């Protein structure tokens, strides 16, 4: 059984933990919580546990002796020792999952100005913070951590619920609804009533992506750059590819009407033959761009790399290009002079200008 031991000056605060799912886990012996009152180990006649800081300054500091003796009384040999501290690494779902694997976890709650720093070395403590703010004591942080850790202990929560939750797959969770179907004229989304599980999964995934992008761009960027895949373009991707090609040509150039027609004609005729050199960039089933590479002169031509604007700025493009540069000795490309962003990226990646027209540079990367 997993055991979580709390070292605190305020043991009574932990009574509030014992409710709902956590209480059920305790009742089912899935884990045990052991709250130890540090004060009982004080050798001072008044049970004092704090003292003035060396070097002066405001507030009091928790003394080592009662804490160390409280820990030693546990006679635990191998434990994960956590000191709740605003200086620590920020607690997250991954840590909660990791900590849930330990048989024995000890959490030290500081109070006042904190604890004598030597406790970290003496007890091998890892400092863990629950966020960038300062609380009066470590009891609430300890409860937050216990709750998040216990949810990840096998048997406490249905495995499927854990898989779908925010952070578990790197994204925030999709919106959830329950009865009634309509409340004050607001209905739950139709797709959830369709009974079509594939459609429901796709909708939820898109919602997760959207919510993560809106609220946590850091997580979104990390997710997309680690989860995109390249899939060989098929006949059915033709229209999407034409659109990407049109956008990449027309966004940066003031294309005269006759050229516009010429390009559309090219897309209708010659371009179709090139589709076999293209790959679609996808996140799950969602197409977010394309890349095309084909033989050219004495090397290959990076014919096109396009990433939808919603998915830019997270390194997908450079990751794909670096991969191409790894595989080939000579890579050519054409870039519009007006597209300074792409031009600068290619320069950074080691491309050099080989030729130029009025509007474009021909660039070469050579190993």
Q: Which residues bind ligand SAM (CB under 6 A)?
A: 84-87, 109-111, 113-114, 129-131, 133-138, 141
Nearer CB in complex with ligand SAM: 110/289: 110
Name every residue whose Cβ is closer than 8 Å to that of residue 126 and which is 6 or more positions away in sequence: 80, 81, 82, 83, 88, 89
CB of 102 to ligand SAM, least distance (A): 19
Q: How far is CA 39 from the centre of its chain?
A: 40
Between 102 and 112, CB nearer to ligand SAM = 112
In the complex, least distance from residue 60 CB atom to ligand SAM, rounded to whole angstroms: 10
Do the Cβ atoms of 297 and 332 come closer than 8 Å? yes
- Contacts of residue 167, defined as CB under 8 A and 6 or more positions apart, other chains included, come to 92, 93, 94, 219
Q: DSSP code of 137? A: B
Q: How far is the CB of 330 from ligand SAM (least distance, A)?
A: 54
Beta carbon nearer to ligand SAM, 131 or 313: 131
Two tokens at 330?
């000579």
Contact 220, 212 (CB under 8 A): yes
Residue sitting closest to ligand SAM (CB) = 110
Smallest separation (angstroms) from ligand SAM to the CB of 10: 11
**Which is closer to ligand SAM, CB of 110 or CB of 317?**
110
* DSSP secondary structure letter of residue 185: T
Cα 91-97-102 angle, rounded to 5 deg: 105
Q: How far is the CB of 104 from ligand SAM (least distance, A)?
A: 20
Which pair of structure tokens corresponds to residue 28?
A: 């089912």
Q: What is the largest CA-CA distance in the chain?
A: 96
CA-based nearest residue to 211, from 184, 172, 178: 172
Q: What is the dihedral of CA 244, 245, 250, 255, to 10 degrees?
A: -160
Q: Which is nearer to ligand SAM, 54 or 133 (CB)?
A: 133
Q: Considering the complex, what minimum distance in angstroms separates the CB of residue 40 from ligand SAM?
A: 19
**Comparison of 111 and 151: residue with beta carbon closer to ligand SAM:** 111
State the nearest-atom distance from the C-beta of 26 to ligand SAM, in Å: 23
Q: How many residues does the chain have?
A: 367
Of 7 and 291, which CB lies nearer to ligand SAM in the complex structure? 7
Kind and range of the H or E element at 51? strand 50-51
């Amino acid at each position: 059984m997993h055991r979580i031991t709390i070292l605190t000056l305020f043991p009574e605060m932990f009574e509030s933990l014992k409710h709902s799912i956590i209480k059920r886990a305790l009742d089912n012996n899935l884990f045990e919580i052991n709250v130890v009152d540090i004060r009982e180990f004080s050798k001072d006649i008044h049970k004092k546990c704090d003292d003035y800081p060396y070097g002066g300054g405001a507030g009091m500091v928790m003394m080592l002796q009662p804490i160390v003796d409280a820990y030693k009384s546990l006679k635990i040999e191998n434990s994960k020792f956590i000191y709740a501290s605003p200086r620590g690494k920020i607690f997250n779902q991954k840590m909660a999952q990791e900590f849930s694997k330990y048989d024995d976890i000890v959490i030290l709650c500081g109070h006042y100005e904190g604890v004598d720093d030597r406790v970290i070395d003496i007890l091998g403590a890892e400092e863990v913070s629950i966020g960038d703010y300062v609380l009066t004591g470590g009891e609430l942080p300890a409860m937050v951590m216990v709750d998040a850790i216990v949810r990840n202990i096998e048997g406490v929560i249905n495995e499927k619920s854990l898989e779908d939750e925010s952070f578990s797959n790197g994204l925030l969770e999709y919106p959830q609804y329950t009865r009634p179907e309509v409340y004050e004229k607001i209905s739950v989304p139709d797709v959830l009533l369709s009974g079509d599980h594939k459609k429901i999964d796709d909708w939820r995934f898109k919602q997760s992506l959207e919510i993560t992008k809106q609220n946590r761009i850091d997580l979104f960027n990390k997710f997309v750059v680690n989860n995109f895949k390249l899939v060989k373009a098929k006949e059915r991707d033709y229209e999407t590819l034409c659109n990407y090609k049109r956008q990449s040509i027309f966004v940066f150039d003031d294309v005269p009407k006759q050229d516009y027609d010429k390009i559309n004609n090219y897309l209708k005729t010659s371009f179709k033959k090139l589709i076999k050199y293209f790959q679609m960039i996808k996140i799950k089933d969602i197409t977010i761009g394309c890349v095309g590479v084909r033989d050219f002169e004495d090397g290959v031509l990076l014919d096109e790399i396009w990433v939808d604007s919603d998915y830019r700025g997270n390194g997908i493009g450079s990751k794909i290009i670096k991969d191409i540069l790894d595989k080939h000795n000579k890579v050519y490309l054409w870039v519009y002079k007006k597209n300074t962003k792409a031009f600068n990226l290619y320069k950074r990646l080691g491309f050099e200008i080989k030729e130029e027209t009025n509007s474009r540079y021909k660039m070469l990367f050579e190993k």
